[in-house]
Amino acid sequence: MTEQQPHKHPHEIRRPYKVKDELSALMNVGPMTRNDFRILGIESVEQLAQQNADELYDRLNRLCGIRLAPCQHDVFAATIHQAKSGEALAWWTFSKARKGQ
């Protein structure tokens, strides 16, 4: 997917992209995170498993033209972990790693 700048922040969209698919079935994926994945060009769990949370977070910040809440990074880390391992953990489990603790 070609990156276009700037996108309207996904959380400002009145009706987020709603779809029932394999990404939506992941533990920490609601309509807003699913919309984030759409903006980032991620449409499958297989694709998500190849990603890096730091890179996704930085890219989404650039695309939206703002700095997103740091917890969005943790959501990306949790969903990538589940995509790779099948283990579903709450997003805040990944906060300590992001904070360097």
| Domain coordinates in residue numbering, the chain | 19-99
Q: What is the dihedral of CA 23, 25, 28, 30, to 10 degrees?
A: 80
d(CA 77, CA 49): 10
d(CA 45, CA 24): 10
Block means of pLDDT (10 residues each) for the chain, length 101 residues? 52 53 95 95 97 98 95 98 98 94 63
Q: According to the model, what pLDDT value does residue 20 have?
A: 77
> Can you give the pTM of this predicted structure?
0.81
Place of tokens 């996904």: 10
